Amino acid sequence: MEYTQLGRTGLKVSRLVLGTMNFGPQTDEPDSHAIMDAALDAGINFFDTANVYGWGENKGRTEEIIGNWFAKDAGRRDKVVIATKVYGNMGADGPAWPNHDKLSALNIRRSVEASLKRLRTDHIDLYQFHHIDRATSFEEIWQAIDVLVQQGKVLYAGSSNFPGYKIAQANETAARRGGTIGLVSEQCLYNLAERRAEMEVIPAAQDYGLGVIPWSPLHGGLLGGMIKKEVQGGRRASGRAADALNDPAVRAQVQAYEDLLDKHGVEPGEAALAWLLTRPGVTGPIVGPRTAGQLESALRAVELELSPELLTGLDEIFPGPGPSPEAFAW
């Protein structure tokens, strides 16, 4: 496994991030524990989750599964950089109760305590804001984080799904206050088929020293050899991937992608991950395996070197918008 610094911090993390969103809803606890065992054995030390994972009436279940895994072996916690998130409503099902979501100081404090309990740990290494909160100032947010850092309950703060200007606002506010070091990472939607983050989000992250952590690296399975699997009678596309493939232009683009990789003898899912590992500013993509076999495929991407010819071909199929303002002006 390769390791890198998380943004401008001294924290060393693996170039693959184990995403746990499927733990609970798709993968039961024993299998989830087996995947975490395999990830740790392979050198993955960066695990990502969120307080809302488990979803619906099972919100928090994913953190509990991770906490139970930590509790089985006291040495595991020291080996893992655990990242979780705050924003979504964690109150009882039904209409959201006031102050049970978003980024008020009250909800941040309540959510940290609840996550610590579910994760069975005394601190969270990376506490991420799952979405921007338009109603709460960054002064209030950083005041809450300062207290948690002083208490030793949170070490670093990161963002997720932030636009570039909010990354700038957050870190300029942190610099003025002189407390925490501000955001150290941004977790964003970024992959070959969805490159809009290159316009402003990734440049802002690089300028402010944030590590970029792409989620949905296979774009919901679209980049994982979906057409080939259909032809071979395997798993058919579903959800947004199926809707996308119903568009003739998208289907032709994905077919060209699969044909290019077939020519080079490279598996599509592994190529999509390996491409992200070549991108400036990227710490490591989040892989969310439902099975141990899917984790093994992701691990092969770390050692995969894409030739200049193949990288050029991928750019031709999925060109991306380019940086701003050139993407929309001269």
Worst-scoring range by mean pLDDT, 10-14, 66-70, 202-206, 243-247?
243-247
Domain parsing of the chain, residue ranges = 3-220+268-310
List the one residue out of 209, 202, 217 whose CA is nearest residue 162: 202
pLDDT band for position 97 (cuts 50, 70, 90): confident
pTM of the predicted protein model: 0.94
Report, as an integer, the average pLDDT of 138-165. 98
Tokens at 256, concatenated: 């060209």
Q: What is the mean pLDDT of the chain?
A: 94
Residue 305 has pLDDT above 80, yes or no: yes
CA 225/CA 310 separation, integer angstroms: 16
Active site residues: 53
Say which residues have a Cβ less than 8 Å from residue 207's Cβ, sequence separation at least 6.
none
Report, as an integer, the average pLDDT of 80-95. 87
Report, as an integer, the average pLDDT of 45-71. 97
pLDDT tens digit sequence for 130-146: 999 999 999 999 999 99
Residue 298 has pLDDT above 90, yes or no: yes
180 vs 123 pLDDT, higher one: 123
- How far is C-alpha 300 from the geometric centre of its chain's CA atoms? 19
The pLDDT of residue 95 is 66
The pLDDT of residue 12 is 98
Q: 3-220+268-310 has which fold?
A: TIM Barrel (3.20.20)
Q: What is the DSSP code string of 177-245?
A: HTSS--EEEEEEE-BTTB-GGGTTHHHHHHHTTPEEEEE-TTTTTTTTTHHHHHHTT-PPP-HHHHHHH
The pLDDT of residue 286 is 98
Q: What is the DSSP code string of 10-77?
A: S-EEESSEEE-TTBTTTB-HHHHHHHHHHHHHTT--EEE--TTTT-GGGTTHHHHHHHHHHHH-HHHH
pLDDT tens digit sequence for 232-280: 766 665 667 778 888 899 999 999 999 999 999 999 999 999 999 999 9
The pLDDT of residue 91 is 79
Report, as an integer, the average pLDDT of 71-94. 91
The pLDDT of residue 113 is 98
In this structure, is the dihedral angle defined by the CA atoms of residues 58, 60, 62 and 64, taken in order, positive or negative? negative
